[in-house]
Amino acid sequence: MKPRLSVVVPVHNVEDYLQECLDSLAGQSLRDIEVVLVDDGSTDRSGAIAADFAARDERFRCVRRPNAGLSAARNTGVAHTTPGVPYLAFADSDDLVVPDAYERMLASLESTGSDLVTGNVWRLNDRGRQQAWQYRWLTADRPRTHITRDAGLLADRVAWNKVFRRSFWDRHAFTFPVGRLYEDTPVMIPAHYLAGSVDVLHRHVYYWRVREGSITRRRTDVRGVRDRIAACEQVSAFLADRDPVQRLRYDASCLRDDFVYFLEGLPMGGPAYRSAFMEDAGAFLDRAGDAAVAGLPAEARVRWRLVRERRLDDLLAVLDFERANGTGTFAVEGVPGRRRAAHPGVLAGRGVPERLGRGDLPAVARLVESSWGEDGRLRLRGYAYIRNLPASTARQSLKAGLVREATSGRTRAVRVRSVRTDRATADSGQELHRYDHAGFEAVLDPRRLGPGDWLVGVVVAGHGVVRRAALRAVEAAVAHPLVHDLGGGLRAVLGYRDGRLELAVTRLPALAVAHDGGCGELELTGELYGTTRPTDLVLTREGAEERVCPVREADGGGFTALIPLSALESEGPAAEPGVPPVEPGDAAGPARGRWRAALRTADGTRVPLAAGPDLRPPVFADPAGLLVVDVTGDPLLTDAGPAPDGGLRIEVRGGGVRGATARAGAAPGTEDGPGPGGAPGAGAFVLRHSALGGTVTVPVAHEGRDRLSALLARPPREGDWEVLLDGRPVRVGAALAARLPVGAAGALFRLDRRHGDRLTVQCAPALGDAERSAYRQGRLRAAHYPAQRALPLRNTVLYTGEGPSRAVHAELVRRSTDVEHLWATDGSAGSAARVPSTAVPVVERSAAWYEALARSRRIVAGDPLPAWFERRQDQTVVRIRPGVPLGRFGLDLSGGLYADHQRLAGLAHRSAQWSVLVSPSGFATPHLRRALGYGGEVLEAGSPAVDLLCAPGGEKTAERVRRVLGVPEGHRVVLYAPTYRDHLAHPPGSVPTGSAPLYRWDPALDPTALAHALDGRTTVLVRRHPRVTGSVPAHPALRDVSGHPDAAELLLIADVLLTDYSGLAFDFAHTGRPMLFHTYDLEHYRDTVRGFCLDFETRAPGPLLVTTEEVAEALRTLPASAAAHAEAYESFRRDHCGPADGMAARRVADRLLDEARGLGAAGPLRP
């Protein structure tokens, strides 16, 4: 078979992903392809995997070459393709190609004659797939288009989502630049310009795997920024002689897109990175001139002018201002017509006088709540303001409503009532302006509007400026429809058109109103309106597969249809092999096994069939009010409401619950792993945090053959928690959608839906809108905190953190000192549950927290204090870092790839606020001093966490802890406690405001496989680092103890510590029990991520293990392993660990109470 398409796949050290990639290529519906695999000097098993695959499939062949990089490998692959093959494509060896991608792409090229075709892209990571942001604009096919007509193609700069006509490729002699990063841009963008025409497919063709730590994801890499700017300069030079207008357009796109990622990394970057960026980006701007900047938003014009003038310090100040206030926030100075942007307190006396145009002061209009009243009218509540013009008084925000019919252009005025709201200021995320009077309420009567598609907008005026804006959802995930039947076939649906709020008033041709609930065959009945006379009911799945059901007219203007449910179930397609799970909100089509219904008339016209809200599964109304036949068994919400105990009650039908068993999950308010059976929460409801991935298992109750109910407690962390049953999302139909949201007593959490029909528990922040807003926080920091500092100190102790702070707190309570104990908490249920009963919780960022920082006489800081905190003269601040450091930290990271130089620059100020720094050992002291920039008093007290390991009565404590954790009697306990990975940080936007950075769980070690491999009398306790989120797999021998408040208690009961680079090893060494180290990424961690404070590879007190199998074998032969490392263990404990006399917390308490400055009953500790 002669190939029609050549696919070039460079391969280098991707053994974990290569097989999946090759399977996706081999499984293409286009069979006549050849795949050239170029092994670019792989040092892992990638070469062997590629060769083995080529031996089994004659369409694949493998070429080997010394390592020279991606570009050289691609060029080599092109040279080894078969001459005369008409089409050429590229794929990266860690990615996937959609099964029918190449068939669709070649069909397009052969239909249009275009030179290349490009398609939509999924972004793929360990949480599933989602729409790649670069292609969000791609909502329809665009055959025979061109980059000069389609600005979105300026972002289409990758090679792997395209197929090229080979004659076009050869005619222009394209080659990838060798030895550079971002090698796609200087080839792909010129290809777009050189093409006669380009086909663009809106359906996805490619899964782009985003691997954290990949070199192109490292923001502050000097080589990366230089290569990216050089690539853009190369494209710009290409356009210089061909089309100056297009060159200017391209240069502006670089400033709007390509360079922004690196610009925003300047605060984190070190001197070399900052110098490289300012030099190269400045040169680009010098060459591009003012014209490239002129069309950008005001905030971008300010940034790039500072770059062009090489004003690095001022630029960093502006970026810091934007970090606190969001991009696009500024003060407005001057009079109408001569307004200027200003950054208060940032560029005083040396500002950039940026004149503002009309587009620089846009209106923001958001819908917050919508509901249908019993009178058939629609009630809307939201806010609208002109960005950067305050709405702090009613006269600064005048509003009117407006609706416009999309087809005819008819407009109607709508009365709105201005109301006060804290939501607008809170949602704006900035400290500069108050928008408290931006709120509005409006009522729409669809009967008075009449049929049509009515776009809803607001006119807002203030400060001499008038703007009109379409109403939009506060976020895309809640832009879903709301249906209301007005009677007589008239229906109103509130929805969104291209993100804009729209009220569609429609006269329905037909409405399904009931069915008999049959099993094998279901009879559907409905009503017909007007002249519609259907002949068939057409069921469609995945937009293609169809099933036709005859329709019979009934007396009184009705109809009936028989739906063969058993046939629909038997025809369900299997999931595509290798296709990853879909994230909520991505661009996926209808769920598999869901059939959409339409009525077909005699002339072939199809009309979507609307459904009444009272229909029950398996035939019911979707959130848009249209009929679906669902044979997937996906769980559907059937009832919801508040529970008497302050929680929420849900009832669900479907989800394969017949064989499910109720499970007693974690206590309310704690995160845990999935339930027994290997799947997350098998036979139980699971709440999964949409951004951070943690889960909570919820016990279930059976209410019948296919119905389950549950009582939901407040989740342990703020945010949105998707509700799952047996791993499948619980969906919401139109009937229940109209009743949501449903709040629990106290409104701390509520049920709602996201992404159209996904049931979600929304856990509100601990602080309300008024107190949590960035504006209010700025006022608390600038006014309330200084005012409290002027008041007398109070006899209170404020604690932050856990572990060591808990030990010191227990010692102070034991002494019965007459003080009040306050504990800083983030206000979540999980955090509040870990506060000792002898302390009063204080919610961080609340007014009471600012007061506690200002007026507490003593502070025990187990976590870092805010950067703006200043110790008062009579305050005592004791800083206790947990454990002895193993990985490098603080200033020792300077110059490293993951160093945040903006934070490092503030360490000296932070450490100057401490009265004393507690060191766990003489080994740790010089590291702490240097890395924290600290020159003050150090108390080498030992580690307070170790006190418990040495305390009398430890056996009783251990027995209690084992019982609480459910460890079977006689079981060996393995504590698996890895640290976090800097390169797996959650994006800042997904982390609660004010929180320290959080990191994703790295599943490199397979706890389930480990549990299977052991003897059945071993329990593995899994403790994620406190800053790591995620879930632990289910297995009877596994316990997720991440929520346990005291790590020392876990060390106490552990027979073996399994860790990687965690400082817990120093504390555990005092027990003398064995330690194992899972160091699968040792070289990367040592050379790239952090490095070590000691020669870890030679001084480790246990074996360094790479695979799960090696760990299991070491646990099976533990005595031999311990004996082999006995000498290293003893020298590790002697040279690096502090004292183990049980007096550390006592020494800290002595110093805190200033009893002879640390020379109390415990006696002085000498290094």
* Cα 382 to Cα 326, 368, 417, 437, 750, distances in angstroms: 21, 5, 11, 11, 19
Let me know: does 604 contact 546? Beta carbons within 8 Å: no
Let me know: does 1101 contact 1128? Beta carbons within 8 Å: yes
Start-to-end C-alpha separation, the chain: 78
Domain boundary among 880, 910, 943: 943
Let me know: does 613 contact 484? Beta carbons within 8 Å: no
* Pair (28, 176) in one structural domain: yes
Over range 1048-1055, report the average pLDDT.
96
Establish if 865 belongs to a structural domain: yes
Q: CA torsion sign, 1005 to 1007 to 1010 to 1012?
A: negative
Residue range 796-840, pLDDT digits in tens: 999 999 889 999 999 999 987 788 999 999 888 878 888 999 999
* Pair (775, 868) in one structural domain: yes
Please tell me the predicted confidence (pLDDT) of residue 430. 94
Please tell me the predicted confidence (pLDDT) of residue 212. 60
128 token code pair: 């599933």
Q: How far apart are the C-alpha atoms of 839 and 847, rounded to whole Å?
A: 18
* Pair (486, 543) in one structural domain: no
Burial annotation 841-874 (CB, 10 A radius, 16+ → b, else e): bbbbbbeebbbbbbbbbbbbbbbbbbeebeebee
Q: Is the pLDDT of residue 983 over 90?
A: no
Establish if 1162 belongs to a structural domain: no
Query: In a 3-state reduction of DSSP, which class is residue 659?
Result: helix
Domain count, the chain: 7
Domain boundary among 718, 746, 763: 763
Please tell me the predicted confidence (pLDDT) of residue 1166. 32
Establish if 1155 belongs to a structural domain: no
Q: Is the peptide bond before 952 cis (omega within 30 degrees of 0)?
A: no
Amino acid (one-letter) located at 322: E
Please tell me the predicted confidence (pLDDT) of residue 590. 42
Please report the DSSP string for 530-575 in residue order.
TT--EEEEEEEETTTEEEEEEEEEETTTEEEEEE-HHHHHHTPPPP
* Pair (19, 141) in one structural domain: yes
Mean per-residue pLDDT of the chain: 89
Q: To the nearest whole percent, how much of the chain has pLDDT over 90?
A: 70
Over range 1120-1125, report the average pLDDT.
94
Over range 514-523, report the average pLDDT.
85
* Pair (187, 248) in one structural domain: no
Please tell me the predicted confidence (pLDDT) of residue 667. 36
Over range 1072-1092, report the average pLDDT.
93
* Cα 180 to Cα 11, 184, 206, 225, 426, distances in angstroms: 17, 10, 24, 11, 44
Between 1033 and 1038, residue with greater pLDDT: 1038
Q: What are phi and psi of 185, to 5 degrees?
A: -55, -50
Between 518 and 340, residue with greater pLDDT: 340
* Cα 1167 to Cα 121, 423, 925, 1133, distances in angstroms: 59, 55, 9, 15
Please tell me the predicted confidence (pLDDT) of residue 350. 63
* Cα 324 to Cα 2, 60, 344, 428, distances in angstroms: 60, 53, 13, 11
Between 831 and 1120, residue with greater pLDDT: 1120
pTM for this entry: 0.88
Query: In a 3-state reduction of DSSP, which class is residue 440?
Result: strand
Over range 345-355, report the average pLDDT.
68
Please tell me the predicted confidence (pLDDT) of residue 585. 42
Let me know: does 757 contact 622? Beta carbons within 8 Å: yes
Establish if 789 belongs to a structural domain: yes
Q: Is the peptide bond before 741 cis (omega within 30 degrees of 0)?
A: yes
Q: Binning pLDDT at 50, 70 and 90, where does residue 347 land?
A: low
Q: Can you list the alpha helix ranges (DSSP code H) found in 1092-1164?
A: 1096-1099, 1108-1116, 1118-1124, 1126-1136, 1144-1152
Q: How far apart are the C-alpha atoms of 372 and 379, rounded to whole Å?
A: 6
- The boundaries of the domain holding residue 448 are 361-505
Q: How far apart are the C-alpha atoms of 1022 and 1031, rounded to whole Å?
A: 10
Q: Is the pLDDT of residue 700 over 90?
A: no
Please tell me the predicted confidence (pLDDT) of residue 22. 97
* Pair (548, 695) in one structural domain: no
Only one residue has tokens 């090696």, namely 1110
Range name among 61-70, 73-82, 170-179, 471-480 with the lowest pLDDT average: 471-480
Over range 611-620, report the average pLDDT.
89
Residue range 421-452, pLDDT digits in tens: 999 999 999 999 999 999 999 999 999 999 99
Residue range 653-677, pLDDT digits in tens: 875 433 332 222 333 344 554 333 3
Establish if 337 belongs to a structural domain: yes
Q: Is the pLDDT of residue 769 over 80?
A: yes
Range name among 11-25, 69-83, 433-447, 981-995 with the lowest pLDDT average: 981-995
Range name among 215-224, 228-237, 682-691 with the lowest pLDDT average: 215-224
Establish if 1166 belongs to a structural domain: no
Establish if 89 belongs to a structural domain: yes
The two beta strands, 856-861 and 794-800, are: parallel
* Pair (647, 598) in one structural domain: no
Give the CATH number of the domain where residue 1022 resides. 3.40.50.12580
Q: Is the pLDDT of residue 641 over 50?
A: yes
Q: What are phi and psi of 432, to 5 degrees?
A: -90, -40
Please tell me the predicted confidence (pLDDT) of residue 62. 97
Establish if 1145 belongs to a structural domain: no
Q: To the nearest whole percent, how much of the chain has pLDDT over 70?
A: 93
* Pair (557, 622) in one structural domain: yes
Please tell me the predicted confidence (pLDDT) of residue 213. 52
Give the CATH number of the domain where residue 380 resides. 2.60.40
- What is the DSSP code (8-state) at residue 937? -
Q: Is the pLDDT of residue 712 over 50?
A: yes
Let me know: does 1012 contact 982? Beta carbons within 8 Å: no
Q: How far apart are the C-alpha atoms of 282 and 310, rounded to whole Å?
A: 7
* Pair (807, 706) in one structural domain: no
Residue range 104-138, pLDDT digits in tens: 999 999 999 999 999 999 998 776 788 898 898 99
Query: In a 3-state reduction of DSSP, which class is residue 244?
Result: helix
Range name among 37-46, 408-417, 476-485, 845-854 with the lowest pLDDT average: 476-485
* Pair (13, 156) in one structural domain: yes
Amino acid (one-letter) located at 1054: A
* Pair (158, 25) in one structural domain: yes
CA 632 to chain centre: 28
Please report the DSSP string for 1071-1103 in residue order.
GT--EEEE-TTHHHIIIII--BSS-HHHH-SS-
* Pair (335, 384) in one structural domain: no
Q: How many CB atoms lie within 10 A of CB 641?
A: 13
Q: How far apart are the C-alpha atoms of 619 and 653, rounded to whole Å?
A: 13
Let me know: does 155 contact 203? Beta carbons within 8 Å: no
Domain boundary among 711, 732, 763: 763
